[in-house]
Structure 1
Amino acid sequence: MVRARDDLCINVPTFFKCPISLDVMKSPVSLCTGVTYDRSSIQRWLDAGNNTCPATMQLLQTKDFVPNRTLQSLIQIWSDSLRHSTVPHPLLSPDQVLPTVAQLETHSLCSASLTKLLHFARDSHHNKLFLAKLEGFVNQLLRFLDNVDGGLVASANTQFLQQVVILLGLILDSVEDRDGLRNSLLKGNKQSLDSLLLVLQRGCCESRIASARVLQFIAADAESKILIAEKEGVVAELLKSAAPEKDPALVEAALASLVAISTPKRNKLKLVSLGAVKALSRLLAEAKLGAAAVEKVLKLVETASSTREGRKEICEDAACVAAVLSKVLKVSSVATEHAVTTLWSVCYLFRDRKAQEAVTQANGLTKILLLMQSNCAPQVRQMCTDLLKIFRVNSKSCLSCYDTKTTHIMPF
């Protein structure tokens, strides 16, 4: 992602960052799932009693991990090149943080102080926690967000606003009074959503990721979700951020935010009306997404399929049905369930002829049969059985397309 010399213009490769802490990894290690994390972050996850891979949520066959020497070398080379090509920023010590925060009240020193605090927060999880617990610091960031329409944070001054949003995004998970923070961001005549939208529209990649994460954080209950979706431009901008040509980390952050927002029915309808079905179909077909991102896309398609308008869009788009079918196998059990639920909804529950034809043309029956013979969840197996009942009349064509040397018992 691209950030400026003041820490908004350094190119940080996404795969250099730990999926848990989002910091550049100091000691990258790989789990048996193939996903790499910073050693301290994944150790905390495992020590907490978790037995899944945080990125894929796959059950770990072993909790052992191995050092990723290749990636560590690449990070070292990248870090060395930065030291030679950019002006170094001395890192604040904890006793320097308080006077630096105090300077936020002085407008002339505000941006420089934020830059120093950004470096401090990025350095470690401990530093993020330190800032989150610092009395008055989070409230000061919120005051900056609320001034988007005038004063210090004018609409034209998006660089300063980006720093505020990035810093808020970094300490978000360390804030103790999470409900209080959510209320402060949404309640009253505040302009926080204006600020977050402005960053989504004009910010750099990192600040847009941070904005999407803050929106996801806010969307904790039905009222909050509706308030966010009713803010003109927010949902549309998140959809734009999830386009195949965007940075993978931005795509995943935007998808996570959309999933969080989309629960209320009116929000589902808004998503559909803004062209979400075609956008998500294109994302499945064109983008090289990780398992976690695919799960989020399929969750959103499933969400659209729970509305009459969404089903209409899905059923009239054969490419969407084919894209969903392409992810039924070999992604994850979560992705499989979302994909099968969508197909079951449009083909079995609502018996749409176009969707049924699209499944047949995309060789969907073969995939459904293969899925039934795998170790899938009982509810997935039942939906597959229901789907196959629809095609009983065409069972001969189903058998002819099921190309295998192994004899199987047909489920009908």
Structure 2
Amino acid sequence: MATEKTREELYVTVPNLFRCPISMDVMTSPVSLCTGVTYDRSSIEKWLELGHKTCPATMQTLPSTLTTPNLTLRRLIQLWLSHADAARAPSCALSKQEAAAIIKGELDAASLGKMIDFMKSSEGNLKFVALSSSAISRFVEFFVESDEIRIRELIVEVFDLISSENSVREKLNELILNCGDGRDYLSPFAAVLREGNAESKVKSAKILELIALNPESQHKISDSPGLLQNLYTLTTSESNTSAVEAGLSALLAVATTRAAKKELIRLGIVRTAGRILSTPDPARGVIERATAMLESVATCTEGRGAIGGDRECVAETVRRLMKCPGAATEHGIAVLWSVCCLARDATAQETAAEANGLTKVLLVMQSGCSSSTSMMCRELVKVLRAKSGSKSNLAPHYQTRTTHIAPY
């Protein structure tokens, strides 16, 4: 009873600013609409997926449904939660001196577990580790030296905890990708992605995305044996939305070369993306990343051929237009333009026309979109109108010079 009373008191004292206006729960991933109102990501995405085009709190019509992470509020909530946890739990058993001694000494699963508890116990402890170059170097070193998957899972959790702190991203990039000692610092990530638990796989993908700072880093990651395939495997996890989203995000960050895109096409990324789009009720973030992935591979000849040859993928891309407004719709238009206009794939044109593509593209144009998307819509209308035999009241003159996608 005492525990229940304590929890109830803590709940009552939650600052209103930390509550989602829709669910009234403490926000875990606060994002802001263009109206300035902040919601929990899962709640506002469900609202938008139901077809609403207004801000739930103000009922203003939304000129854009794009959301922006509210990082300041997220940090304040994390600080409040850490203090709330401290109020109902014993303080961390480690002092900073003891934590420093662990870092310098022999690391094992038990000591890493204590270090993770130490970092989770307070913001100050987390910064203590994140701001220590020697600590990060030691964890990276042990990540490579150890052959135990459990050790590597724990170190990935350490990386994930410290990744939000300033300059850690650059430090990890330097230690993992630019150490210059000839050792393979990426193979442990492949091992975790292959053999680790579901949570550690997701965190590994996020770290790889985090350290892909520039073309050189992206090439090193995508060229590392097994990494692309392991990340692709994450995207096929039908029962784990977080894994699918993390896998797609990492692939978008690292698979930037034609060679990497060709490998993903060989693995089946077009078929997988089409399957994701056909899922009855997918998360908005997953849809956005799946369509972005298709747009990415459509920048090469092989990708356009694979998409054009997959009727289901083309049809599902058309079906998703306007159902998930914003980035996903613009990605979808770029995909359709690539195969129907740039590649002039007759099968893709027929499939898009049969899937009511002309009407969907017209709706996108009417809803308001970027200038490049509007240009592609005009060209799509011209192609699909001819293919479907439909008439349109659009002006007969089109600006057909396209520079949105530079094909290989």
TM-score exceeds 0.5: yes
Cα distance change, pair 203–175 in 1 and its aligned pair in 2 (3 A): farther
Q: Does 1:111 align with 2:109?
A: yes
**Identity fraction in percent:** 28
The answer as to whether partners of 1:268 and 1:304 remain within 8 angstroms in 2 is yes
Matches of residues 342-361 of structure 1 in structure 2 within 5 Å? 342-361=335-354
Equivalence for 2:64: none
Secondary structure of residue in 2 paired with 1:191: coil
Q: For residues 352 and 24 of structure 2, what CA distance do their matches in structure 1 show? A: 33
The answer as to whether partners of 1:92 and 1:117 remain within 8 angstroms in 2 is no
Q: Alignment partner for residue 334 of structure 1, among 315, 327, 330?
A: 327
The answer as to whether partners of 2:193 and 2:201 remain within 8 angstroms in 1 is yes
Kindly state the Cα deviation for residue 133 of structure 1 after the two structures are TM-superposed. 1.4
Equivalence for 1:146: 144
Kindly state the Cα deviation for residue 332 of structure 1 after the two structures are TM-superposed. 2.7
Amino acid of the structure 1 residue aligned with 2:92? L
Cα distance change, pair 365–320 in 1 and its aligned pair in 2 (3 A): same
Q: Does 1:199 align with 2:198?
A: no
Kindly state the Cα deviation for residue 301 of structure 1 after the two structures are TM-superposed. 0.3
Q: For residues 124 and 330 of structure 2, what CA distance do their matches in structure 1 show? A: 38
The answer as to whether partners of 1:325 and 1:359 remain within 8 angstroms in 2 is yes
Amino acid of the structure 2 residue aligned with 1:254? G
Q: For residues 35 and 302 of structure 1, what CA distance do their matches in structure 2 show? A: 37
Matches of residues 241-320 of structure 1 in structure 2 within 5 Å? 241-286=234-279, 288-320=281-313
Q: Does 1:159 align with 2:150?
A: yes
Secondary structure of residue in 1 paired with 2:238: coil
The answer as to whether partners of 1:118 and 1:167 remain within 8 angstroms in 2 is yes
The answer as to whether partners of 1:27 and 1:38 remain within 8 angstroms in 2 is no
Q: For residues 134 and 353 of structure 1, what CA distance do their matches in structure 2 show? A: 59
Amino acid of the structure 1 residue aligned with 2:259? R
Equivalence for 2:165: 174
Matches of residues 10-409 of structure 1 in structure 2 within 5 Å? 29-30=19-20, 38=27, 42=30, 55=41, 91-92=91-92, 96-107=95-106, 110-123=108-121, 125-147=123-145, 153-154=146-147, 157-176=148-167, 178-187=169-178, 188=180, 189-286=182-279, 288-394=281-387, 396=389, 398=390, 409=393
Q: Deviations over 1:1-60 (max 9, x none)?
A: xxxxxxxxxxxxxxxxxxxxxxxxx9962257x797638x74xx87xx987879589999
The answer as to whether partners of 1:100 and 1:113 remain within 8 angstroms in 2 is no
Kindly state the Cα deviation for residue 170 of structure 1 after the two structures are TM-superposed. 1.4
The answer as to whether partners of 1:91 and 1:116 remain within 8 angstroms in 2 is no
Cα distance change, pair 37–308 in 1 and its aligned pair in 2 (3 A): farther
Q: For residues 101 and 246 of structure 1, what CA distance do their matches in structure 2 show? A: 40
Cα distance change, pair 89–265 in 1 and its aligned pair in 2 (3 A): farther
Kindly state the Cα deviation for residue 345 of structure 1 after the two structures are TM-superposed. 1.0
Q: For residues 143 and 376 of structure 2, what CA distance do their matches in structure 1 show? A: 47
Amino acid of the structure 1 residue aligned with 2:95? Q
Deviates more, 1:120-129 or 1:180-189: 120-129
Q: For residues 370 and 227 of structure 2, what CA distance do their matches in structure 1 show? A: 36
Amino acid of the structure 2 residue aligned with 1:182? N
The answer as to whether partners of 1:193 and 1:231 remain within 8 angstroms in 2 is yes
Kindly state the Cα deviation for residue 306 of structure 1 after the two structures are TM-superposed. 0.6
The answer as to whether partners of 1:325 and 1:339 remain within 8 angstroms in 2 is yes
Q: Deviations over 1:349-380 (max 9, x none)?
A: 22110110110122212211222222233332
Q: Deviations over 1:291-316 (max 9, x none)?
A: 22211111110011111111111011
The answer as to whether partners of 1:166 and 1:206 remain within 8 angstroms in 2 is no
The answer as to whether partners of 2:238 and 2:244 remain within 8 angstroms in 1 is no
Unaligned runs of 5+ in 2: 1-15, 59-84, 397-408
Q: For residues 221 and 249 of structure 1, what CA distance do their matches in structure 2 show? A: 25
Count of equivalent residues: 343
Cα distance change, pair 227–391 in 1 and its aligned pair in 2 (3 A): same
Q: For residues 36 and 389 of structure 1, what CA distance do their matches in structure 2 show? A: 48
Kindly state the Cα deviation for residue 342 of structure 1 after the two structures are TM-superposed. 0.7
* TM-score with structure 1 setting the length: 0.73
Unaligned runs of 5+ in 1: 1-25, 65-82, 148-152, 400-407
* TM-score with structure 2 setting the length: 0.74
Q: For residues 334 and 258 of structure 2, what CA distance do their matches in structure 1 show? A: 18
Q: Deviations over 1:330-351 (max 9, x none)?
A: 2131111110011011101221
